[in-house]
Amino acid sequence: MALVVQKFGGTSVATAERIMAAARRAIRARQAGYHVVVVVSARGDTTDELIALAHEITDRPPSRELDMLLATGEQVSIALMAMAIQALGHPAISFTGAQIGIVTDSFHTRARIKNISTRRLRQALAEGNIAIVAGFQGVNDNFDITTLGRGGSDTTAVALAAVLKHDPAGPFPEVDCEIYTDVDGVYTTDPRLVPEARKIPAISYDEMLELASLGAGVMHSRSIEFAKKYDVPIHVRSSFTDAEGTWIVPETAWMHQVPVCGLAMVRDEARVHLAGVPDLPGVSHRIFSALADAHLVVDMIAQNVGSAGRAEIGFTVLQSDLSQALTILEPLAREWGASLTYEERLCKVSLVGAGMKTHTGVAQRVFQVLGDAGINIRMITTSPIKISLLVDRDLGVTALRLIHRAFRLHEPRPGEQEWNTIKADILTPRRTVPAPLFGTAGLLSSMEDIIVSDIALEDTHGRITLQDLPDRPGVCAHIFSAIAAAGIVVDMIVQNPKGQGFAELSFTVPRENLEHAWHIARRALQEIHPSGRAIADPDIATVAVEGVGMRSHSGVARRMFGALAQQGINIEMISTSEIRVEVVVERRHAQAALECLRRAFSRQSVCA
């Protein structure tokens, strides 16, 4: 018999009426012939209320006791849901995370799932019950209650679907995962900010990972990591209607027909800038190791090309993490004789799309739209399927709306009809998870470990660096319009402000186009600022680590930068995303860099 995991968020169980509606939906699935597992969140604003209650007692509630408190919210929900199903005449049984065997590590309030036992859950289903499981929580090896952090109920639901789909004790023939929420799917951007935003019928795991990490609030990135890692299609839909929602699935060819599928915005970003750090191997490693040790997640990273033995590194963190980040970095800045500055009241606007791999001129169009509107871009980073821009917070929504309109995201996406014809094939049950992910006792072990899918070397590009670039609206548009007009494809882009009204911009192009691109960029720069410098460097290479969990695990960059530092290889540029961390090094070090990264990640599970 097939199985469906249904997750209901806090708004979906906020009232008795909504609990009964969710119960009826679970019963309909059972009557349709499915085994049913229901995962529920705490009702309404319960979690926020419990946190506020804790802070009435102490400004710094102990994390272990906070988890003990927060877990009660889901315990209320599972009991009420089981009562509702039983009242409607169907058998149901509720389980806390500990009772079902969700074992986590011991990082209270942000625990990660290590493994899940299926024994008790399978027994309950075999007895004909609808199983109700508390989301957001588990238990560590000492039997202490833990919680999974933001988006924890989504993570619980997809993890349960994964373990049941690939259970060595006997996988279910078909497993569906439905995430019920107060919206009817994933939209091209937040419809509260852009009313003409459209629902997306299907989106790839990688696109959704990027959007989730960039501020799209429908699902959390950890749950999408589970889905991609264990090949679990997800259906995001409304708990208030029966309308088809959005499917999150493996990437397919029709998704490349447009360059951008969606936009996201993070409002409360702060930028930290270290100027005058030694341009030596190991510097980036020391910076990001110190931040990783404090479990601070760094977002955009822009490292300028070094000169005179010194370099500049800028990165963003959430506004709430700024004070801690500055405290951590101040001793390093003093040691190096570097300056440490920061900017607040910034926001990040990002474009995501699998089609960026095959479409040119995407960055140029974005820069032109913002330049024409007088919006200055404070920082730029890119990945193969993402462009992130830092702008003043007060201009974030305006930038979001302009970009949405420029890429015509309010119109039906080409290829949507193709999705309707291939959907059945895409959703056909597959079992592609490699054997090393499985434990030995009927468990999936270390379920949230990083999965490295590729360690790649690209040595066919050169880099152009523009120094003393005026830091004002329209400058990037002027540069990249000229490059695009020549038909030159741009790959990695990094822009970092240098202060005093100037910025530094670096980008990579195919080596055969480097000289032509340099002449174009130098001419465009001189039209803007005659004393600016354009430097072409053909002797670079890019090495990248790609997989699942690249950014949500703060230690990935540390391991990567540390391995290169031990080899004496200096990092010249950095680009990070949810699925890929890549760095530019000197070309003469390319093969050594590739080999040392392969050694550094050799203990990770590697998928072909």
**Per-residue pLDDT tens for 208-221?**
988 887 766 678 88
| Alpha carbon distances (Å) from 266 to 212, 269, 319, 350, 608 | 11, 7, 10, 9, 33
- Which fold would CATH assign to domain 263-410+453-606? VC0802-like (3.30.2130)
Amino acid at 153: S
| Residue 500, helix vs strand vs coil | coil
- Distance, in Å, from the CA atom of 407 to the CA atom of 197, rounded to the nearest integer, reads 12
Report residue 558 as tokens.
């540390």
Give the pLDDT score at 345: 93
User: 34, 2 in Cβ contact below 8 A?
Assistant: yes
- Break the chain into its structural domains and give their ranges: 3-255, 263-410+453-606
Q: What is the CATH number of domain 3-255?
A: 3.40.1160.10
Angle at the Cα of 124 (from 121 to 127), degrees rounded to 5?
Answer: 150
- State the average pLDDT over residues 401-409: 96
Side chain identity, residue 189: T
Contacts of residue 425, Cβ cutoff 8 Å, sequence gap at least 6: none
Q: How far apart are CA 526 and CA 333, in angstroms?
A: 34
Q: Residue 432: what pLDDT?
A: 52
Q: By the 8 A CB rule, do 3 and 174 touch?
A: yes
* Bridge-based pairing state of the strands 461-470 and 573-576: unpaired
Structure tokens at 223: 């749950």
169 Cβ contact list (under 8 Å, min separation 6): 118, 119, 122, 442
Q: Nearest Cα to 375, choosing from 471, 469, 465?
A: 471
| 525 vs 450: CA distance, rounded Å | 42
| pLDDT given at position 448 | 79
Q: What is the dihedral of CA 71, 74, 78, 84, to 10 degrees?
A: 140
The three-class DSSP label of residue 170 is coil
Picking from 113, 91, 92, 89, the residue whose alpha carbon sits closest to that of residue 102 is 113
Q: CB atoms < 10 A from the CB of 58, how many?
A: 10
> Which helix (DSSP H) or strand (DSSP E) does residue 327 occupy?
helix 322-336
Alpha helices in 407-542 (DSSP H): 416-426, 475-485, 514-528
Alpha helices in 390-528 (DSSP H): 396-406, 416-426, 475-485, 514-528
pLDDT in tens, 121-176: 999 999 999 999 999 999 999 999 999 988 899 999 999 999 999 888 888 888 99
Q: Are 200 and 340 in contact (CB under 8 A)?
A: no
Q: What percent of the chain stands above pLDDT 70?
A: 94
- According to DSSP H, which parts of 58-95 are helical? 63-87
- Whole-angstrom CA distances from 5 to 234, 476, 561 are 10, 47, 39
Checking phi first, is residue 3 left (phi over 0); if not, alpha (psi -120 to 50) or beta?
beta
Tell whether the model's pLDDT for residue 392 goes beyond 70: yes
Place of tokens 């059945």: 424
Band the pLDDT of 430: cuts 50, 70, 90.
low
Provide the greatest CA pair distance for the chain: 80
Amino acid at 223: S
Q: How confident is the prediction for the chain on average, in pLDDT? A: 89
Separation between Cα atoms, residue 347 and residue 395, nearest integer Å: 8
Q: Nearest-5° angle of CA 245, CA 250, CA 251?
A: 100
What average pLDDT does the segment 182-203 reach?
Answer: 92
- pLDDT one-digit tens code per residue, 480-538: 999 989 989 898 898 888 777 888 899 999 999 999 999 999 999 999 999 899 999 99
Strand partners, 94: 132
User: In terms of Cα–Cα distance, which of 565, 571, 559 is closest to 598?
Assistant: 559
Taking residues 467-471, report their average pLDDT: 90
Cα–Cα distance between 188 and 180 in angstroms, integer? Answer: 18
pLDDT in tens, 55-93: 999 999 999 999 999 999 999 999 999 999 999 999 999
Cα separation, 304 vs 452, whole angstroms: 27
pLDDT digits (tens, 9 = 90+) for 345-389: 999 999 999 998 888 889 999 999 999 999 999 999 888 899 999
Between 516 and 437, the more confident residue is 516
Cα 420 to the center of its chain, rounded Å: 27
443-465 residue pLDDT tens: 344 787 777 888 999 999 999 99
Could you read off the pLDDT of 528-575 as tens digits, one per residue?
A: 999 899 999 999 999 999 888 776 665 677 888 889 999 999 988 888
- The strand ranges marked E within 327-460 are 339-352, 379-383, 386-392, 451-458
pLDDT bin (cut points 50, 70, 90) of residue 254 is confident
- Collapsing DSSP states into helix, strand and coil, what is residue 211? helix
Helix (H, G, I), strand (E, B) or coil at 164: helix
Contact status, residue 4 vs residue 34, Cβ threshold 8 Å: yes
Strand order in the sheet with 379-383: 301-303, 310-318, 262-278, 339-352, 386-392, 379-383, 493-499, 502-510, 461-470, 533-537
Q: Which of 258, 187, 189 is nearest to 398 (CA)?
A: 189
pLDDT mean over 299-316: 81
pLDDT of the residue at 155: 94
The residue with greater pLDDT, 133 or 467, is 133
Q: For residue range 256-295, what is the model confidence (pLDDT) as tens digits?
A: 888 999 999 988 899 999 989 998 888 988 998 898 888 7
Pairing of strands 379-383, 451-458: unpaired
The full DSSP string for 265-291 is EEEEEEEEEEEEEE-STTHHHHHHHHH
- In sign, the C-alpha dihedral spanning 272, 275, 278, 281 is positive
**What's residue 132's pLDDT?**
98
Query: What is residue 288's predicted lDDT score, i.e. its pLDDT?
Result: 87
What value does the mean pLDDT take over residues 190-219?
A: 87
Listed residue (411, 409, 402, 415) closest to 365, CA to CA: 402
Q: Which of 407, 380, 332 is nearest to 494 (CA)?
A: 380
Cβ atoms of 388 and 350 closer than 8 Å:
yes
Beta carbons of 508 and 542 less than 8 angstroms apart: yes
